[in-house]
Amino acid sequence: MELDMQNPSEAICPICDSDDVEISSQEEREAFGLPGVTLRSLQQVTCRECGEVTCSIPSHGLIVREIRRRLCELGRPLVGTEVQFLRESLRQSQAQLASLLGTSNVTVSRWENQHNPVPLSADSFLRVLTLADLDGSVDFNKILRFQDGGASVVEIDVLAVEESRFSSGANLIAEEEDWDDIVITLPESPELQAA
Ligand SMILES: [Zn+2]
């Protein structure tokens, strides 16, 4: 994971505000307590005035997002600390994740403490949820709605769906003799372009 160095000319000591500082590039292994994650090109600032040494992570939120995405792409099973990191990033408690997976919070705890291996189903589920959450195209709360007792059946008003299809402009040609035109113009509909 590469980080852009801040412009060294802008670096100042956070303690004494001196700009007489020395910049060096550092590497942090096991970042965020994750044994498989190394952050490179971290900017370490050493103050020549007061001797203060600071090393901060710029764009902290972006780095966390990047770690989450890259964990989902690992070509090996997730380990306990990674499961915990992804779960907490999804704002789920051990009990909530256990409920979603039909298991107990003790079981989730044993995965995260590396007492038991993480089952493939839980590994895959965490990756899918994480990618959906990062992508933002899926309303994560809708996936979890059954936790709070949502609807138990699906009811669809066919006429309403048809009307929304026409009002969205996806199918402006309703005349039967223009059927061929509809087929030709379908690839340009917003729904298909978004797919
Ligand atoms: Zn200083």
Report the separation in Å between the CA atom of 18 and the middle of ligand 1, taken as the mean of its atom positions. Answer: 5
> Which phi and psi (to 5°) does residue 28 adopt?
-115, 115
pTM of the model: 0.68
Report the separation in Å between the CA atom of 67 and the middle of ligand 1, taken as the mean of its atom positions. Answer: 32
In this prediction, residue 166 carries a pLDDT of 73
Task: List residues, by chain if needed, whose CB lies under 5 Å from ion ligand 1.
Answer: 13, 15-16, 18, 47, 49-50, 52
Class of domain 8-58: mainly beta
Check the CA dihedral 181-184-188-191 and report its sign: positive
Enter the CATH code of domain 64-148.
1.10.3100.10
Q: Tell me, what DSSP letter sits at residue 87?
A: H
112 confidence band (pLDDT: 50, 70, 90):
very high
Is the predicted pLDDT of residue 82 greater than 90, yes or no? yes
Q: What is the pLDDT of residues 13-47, one digit of tens each?
A: 889 999 999 999 888 899 999 999 999 888 889 99
In this prediction, residue 148 carries a pLDDT of 66
Q: Tell me, what DSSP letter sits at residue 187?
A: G
Report the separation in Å between the CA atom of 34 and the middle of ligand 1, taken as the mean of its atom positions. Answer: 31
Output Rg (C-alpha) for the chain, integer angstroms: 25
Do the domains at 8-58 and 64-148 have one common CATH topology? no
Domain map of the chain by residue range? 8-58, 64-148
Is the predicted pLDDT of residue 3 greater than 50, yes or no? no
Q: What is the pLDDT of residues 42-71, one digit of tens each?
A: 888 999 999 999 887 778 899 999 999 999
**Tokens encoding 70:** 């890259």
